[in-house]
Amino acid sequence: MAAKRWGQFFKKRQAPRHTAPLPEDIETIRQKALRGYHLEQVLWGKILLDSIYMPSDPQQAKVWFTMAANAGYGPAHNMLGRCAHFGWGGPRDLLQAASHYETAAQHGDEWGRYNLAILTMRGIGVPQDLKKALGLFQTAANNGHAKSMNILARFLEEGWEIEQNRTEALAWYKRSAEGGDYRGQHNYATALADSGHLQEALMWWEKALPNATSDILLAMNRSLEKLENHGNPALYAALQQRLSTLPLTEGNITENAIKA
């Protein structure tokens, strides 16, 4: 199924919820989940978390994640971690979130490894340990996880727990950008613009725009406003449109968030 279609199932939608018969492909996921397929159990749990086809049921979603997690399926532990992290289907419990993320990582799930690294880097629910976080990001990045590539680049750029190497940082930002991470795309575009490669930078900012969150949108805005004619008038106009419709809160507009 195309990524655009998946987005309709997993992202919050404004359309009214209803209990009409499920589309064939969604019903196939449900049936395979019932037959014990671990991937489909996780996918069905995600649908239960938020779908246009039925009311949200986080508690039931956790039941399905638990089924797959009990079979040792890493992505299911990652989702249980997210449930505990954000209080989906129960109280928020950061220690439990970290435990599930760690188990996910032990089972080879790179999202679990990344999420554990984020908690460890920031000291959320677990003691802050930049060295441990760096190791987690390095492993995930080397295994192809684009978001981890971006943060590994930040460690290299700043010299956090590793020898500063801005050339290598740029290479990781590029790999993150090519892997589809909007933060990596923004950071790579910023580096390109700073080195005089404006047209290529504008191309990467354009790629980052559709999925970027408010902190990245504001950082892009600051960068484009410094350019003559805003670099690309069409891109700048599209950015202003996104900024005008996206809720911006103090909590998600921080300098530290721009590259993390």
Structure tokens at 177: 């950008």
User: What pTM, to 2 d.p., does this model score?
Assistant: 0.86
Q: Report the first-to-last Cα separation within the chain, whole angstroms.
A: 30
φ, ψ dihedrals at 31, nearest 5°: -65, -40
3-class secondary-structure state, position 7? helix
pLDDT attached to residue 247: 74
Q: Among 52, 144, 118, which Cα is nearest to 257's?
A: 118
CA atoms of 135 and 112, how far apart (whole Å): 14
For residue 233, give Cα distances in angstroms to 115, 191, 207, 218, 230.
Answer: 37, 20, 15, 16, 6
Structure tokens at 70: 């009990």
259 with 154: CB under 8 angstroms? yes
Mean pLDDT on 86-94:
97
Mean pLDDT on 28-53:
97
State pLDDT tens for residues 139-169.
Answer: 999 999 999 999 999 999 999 999 999 999 9
Q: Give the up-direction half-sphere exposure of residue 243: CA atoms within 13 A in the CB hemisphere.
A: 15
CA atoms of 59 and 61, how far apart (whole Å): 5
Domain ranges of the chain: 23-127
Average per-residue pLDDT for the chain = 90
CA atoms of 165 and 157, how far apart (whole Å): 6
pLDDT attached to residue 20: 73
Least confident of 51-55, 93-97, 148-152, 199-203: 51-55
CA atoms of 56 and 9, how far apart (whole Å): 11
Q: Among 1, 57, 55, which Cα is nearest to 26's?
A: 1
Residue partners of 150: CB distance under 8 A and separation at least 6: 172, 173, 176, 181, 183, 184, 187, 259
Q: Among 181, 239, 234, 233, which Cα is nearest to 214's?
A: 239
The arrangement of secondary structure in 23-127, i.e. its CATH architecture, is: Alpha Horseshoe (1.25)
pLDDT attached to residue 248: 54
Q: Is the pLDDT of residue 227 over 50?
A: yes
For residues 193, 234, 181 and 253, what is the CA-based torsion angle, rounded to 10 degrees? 80
216 with 258: CB under 8 angstroms? yes
**Residues facing 51 on adjacent strands:** 54
Q: Is the pLDDT of residue 13 over 90?
A: no
Task: Give the model's confidence band at 191: pLDDT under 50 very low, under 70 low, under 90 confident, else very high.
Answer: very high
User: Concatenated DSSP letters for 38-66?
Assistant: HHHHHHHHHHHHSBTTB---HHHHHHHHH
pLDDT attached to residue 183: 98
Stretch (H or E) spanning 187? helix 182-194
Report the percentage of the chain scoring pLDDT > 70: 88
